[in-house]
Chains A and B, each alone.
Chain A
Amino acid sequence: MDKAVVLRGITKRFPGIVANDGITLEIEKGEVHAIVGENGAGKSTLMKILAGIYQPDEGEIYIFGKRERITSPGRAIELKIGMVHQHFMLVNRFTVLENIILGAEKRAGMVIDEQKCRKVIGELLSLYNFSLDPDARVEEISVGQAQRVEILKVLYRGADILVLDEPTAVLAPQEVKELFANLRRLKEEGKTIIFISHKLDEVLEIADRITVLRRGRVVGTVVPSRVTKEELARMMVGKPVFMKLEKTPVPAGDVLLSVKDLVVRENTGKPAVNGVSLEIRGGEIYGIAGIEGNGQKELAEAIIGLRKTSSGQVTICGRTATGLSIREIRDLGVAFIPEDRHRQGLVLPMKVWENMILGYHRKKEFLKKPSLNLKTAREFTEKRVKEYSVRLSSIDQSIDGLSGGNQQKVILGRELSRDPRVIIASQPTRGLDVGAAEFVHEELLKKREEGKAILLISADLEEVLSLSDRVGVMYNGRITAEFRPEEVTPEDVGVYMLGGGVKAGEGA
């Protein structure tokens, strides 16, 4: 029988890097084939080639035995390849039905034949045992459901090969289980699934075969039953990886950050944070777990003063911080690692050294009135660059030329080197590869040992559980549960991430 996908010698170059370097890969019909690798290993590039978004510079692609050129996303669909993007490509204001049919409407002349669309979607829902309300608006459904809409979109278009790009990154553990059940059902119906991930446990659970990429090349293809997680990690990174973080007990200090009954409203007036109270002591990491969009971002922004609070109180090192300006709050000794380093943490076109003193440029040591003291600013930057081993060609290069990991190191250097007492770290390892993430984790643990109070907000449950001393789960603007990480499993926390033990709202 013909293989679903065969890639031979696929090479794709971008200015400065070879993203895919002679990749050869065979995917059987009806298998779940996982592709794993670190960030920058070339997974996404490879998938975009399959989806018709990029054209390879060299190499051949065979789909169901026939040599093909996938010249556009439309061509990919004609070849029955369907892409489920990591970042959902959905129109939030549209209903589930509208999103599914968009671009492939069943029609009667110029008018949409809604009955026919409804019938086709209903049949798909029952065939694959998906639970979804076609008339719900996408902005009102859960992340797991939105993902099902994405999968249905490609099934509705008749895809036989489904490419899922990091599908579990945004899901709670229970939702992952449901996704896997859906995928197994798809496999039973003869669909071929390509599953891209860097979460090794999940890959070992769902995949029939696993191909590991590293720096644009195939390291090998393995069968899950004959490989351990450690071996996989080693293939991925190229050297042994320590999966466990060392955490030493630290005596608890004074309460440095206290939040009481905090209410923060969205721009629309709806409360995003709805009565959150928490206390963090020196030498403690308080982790906030939760599916994104449940008020975590607003909480962090309210504490640092970026967002107005409606009611409630924030106390930092014993001083009331509510109503203070961002500068005043920072001067109380608060460091902020924002979740979106491109929009909040850095000014991308500016130089590395400029970014390194950003926000602290008013400090005495950087001033030689009426101008900046370039000498001390540069010395300070050089020192931090060494200390945090930031890889760059010059501190005068603009920061957008640095990799994500190195950009994050600049932020850490700036924020953590001024002896803050409270650290707000929002998604601190997002988009970083394993090595850089490990570095960030070690830094945070170091600060914990130095007696800082750390608020860690992360969508990565594993990260929250391994770093934190206490974990609060945020759902719908409230902290609905609090645990010590050693007392719970990820599944226990997941229940609360989805709204507290009740799966009724999910309808599945």
Chain B
Amino acid sequence: MFLSELLASSLRMAVPILLTALGAVFTERAGVVNIGLEGMMIVGSFWGALGSYYYGPYFGLLLAMAAGMFLALIHAVNTVTFRVDQIVSGVAINILAYGSCRFLSQAIFKMATTSPHVAGLPKIDIPVLAGIEFLKPLVSGVSPIIILALLLVPLTRFVINRTVFGLRLRSVGENPLAADTLGINVFRMKYAGVLLSGMLAGLSGAYLALEHTGMYVEGMTQGQGFIALAAMIFGNWEPAGALWAALLFGFSEALSFRVVEGGAIPYQFIKMIPYVLTLAVLAGVVRKSTPPAADGIPYERGMK
């Protein structure tokens, strides 16, 4: 029972990282680094809660994705159209997200840091499997977003590898000049990649607010947007890789909760585990993975 509960908890922790990491795959394969994903998760969590508060959880999800895409649009205009440094734009977006949510929370909910309790999506029991006692924590009362996130892994993989859109998206991240000479609209593909990342990060934020805590809390993303970037890199810019990496990070978070209860090691050290793991991954594994060749480099027509 402990094991399956731990696994279920890992999965729940992994989902926001996974969704955002899949978004990161889209944007980075198109050659745009997006560290604003954290901010897009923040607005997702706030607008998700706001939407759910007034019109129910489904509207909350839509609003969260729209909010994430709106910030992504700003990032795309900055970095693709005006070729602003991608890191600088991402940082600005994170600050904007944080500040705007605090302001709106105060204005709407009369509380700067939390929203009232909001409704989540109806939970699902997976038929047949839910009857097995051992699997119960994993397959009963599951959020539909968890299932959606898992389905998105093969779907993303298919889109990237097998469709015309995916081939063109990848070409733009690898060699935009070559793509341009073949008549591919480099800017449009980059916009598409960035917007998709914003949508998924927004969804991920909504998952945190609606499914995890049942309310918006300031700082609830806890840097998971950055951890998702690390997971995407750890997963070598592949959706399946991102899944395994997200599970690893989710597991480390779930584990940190369980170990706290034991109390042998000071609480603060245990809480560090996911972040230390992120640093270790970035320092150790990243050297062996290969980013898209033109990742992070703004494209300009007539560039040599």
Contact = CB atoms under 8 A, between A and B. Distances in A.
B165 interface: yes
Contact of A91 (B162, B163, B165, B175): B175
B175 A111 contact: no
B285 interface: no
A391 interface: no
A98 B175 CA distance: 13
Contacts of A89: 175, 177-178, 181-182
A105 interface: yes
A158 interface: no
B130 to A, nearest CB: 35
B127 interface: no
Contacts of B181: 73, 83, 85, 89
A288 B260 CA distance: 64
Given A85-B181, A102-B184, A104-B182, A92 B165 contact: no
B179 interface: yes
Interface of B: prevailing SS: helix
B164 A110 contact: yes
A73 B162 CA distance: 26
A91 B164 contact: no
Nearest to B183: A74
Contact of A102 (B165, B177, B182, B292): B182
B178 A91 contact: yes
A89 B182 CA distance: 9
B253 interface: no
A94 interface: yes
A111 B164 CA distance: 6
A-side interface mostly: loop
Contact of B178 (A90, A101, A104, A111): A90
B162 A103 contact: no
Given A77-B183, A103-B179, A104-B182, A92 B293 contact: yes
Contacts of A90: 175, 178
Given A91-B175, A91-B178, A112 B164 contact: yes
A98 B163 CA distance: 12
B168 A103 contact: yes
A93 interface: yes
A107 interface: yes
A204 to B, nearest CB: 30
Contacts of A153: 182
Contacts of B174: 91-94
Contacts of B178: 89-91, 102
A31 to B, nearest CB: 25
Interface in B102-135: none
Interface in B232-288: none
Given A91-B174, A91-B175, A92-B175, A105 B183 contact: no
Contacts of B184: 102-103
Contacts of B170: 91, 93-94
Given A89-B178, A94-B174, A102 B163 contact: no
A322 to B, nearest CB: 25
Contacts of A85: 181
Contact of B183 (A73, A94, A110, A112): A73
A102 B164 CA distance: 8
Contacts of A94: 170-171, 174
Nearest to B176: A91
Interface string B131-174: 00000000000000000000000000000001111011011001
A93 B163 contact: no
Contact of B179 (A72, A74, A102): A102
Given A90-B178, A94-B174, A104-B182, A111 B163 contact: yes
Name which of A90, A91, A102, A104 has the most chain B CB atoms within 10 A of its CB.
Answer: A91
Contacts of A98: 167
B167 A110 contact: no
A105 B162 contact: no
Contacts of A92: 174-175, 293
Contacts of A104: 182
Interface of A: 72-74, 77, 83, 85, 89-94, 98, 101-105, 107, 110-112, 153
Top-5 shortest CB links A-B: A103-B182, A89-B178, A74-B183, A91-B174, A91-B175
Interface of B: 162-165, 167-168, 170-171, 174-175, 177-184, 290, 292-293
25 contacts: A73-B183, A85-B181, A89-B177, A89-B181, A91-B170, A91-B171, A91-B174, A93-B292, A93-B293, A94-B170, A98-B167, A102-B167, A102-B168, A102-B182, A103-B171, A103-B179, A103-B183, A103-B184, A110-B163, A110-B164, A111-B162, A111-B163, A111-B164, A112-B167, A153-B182
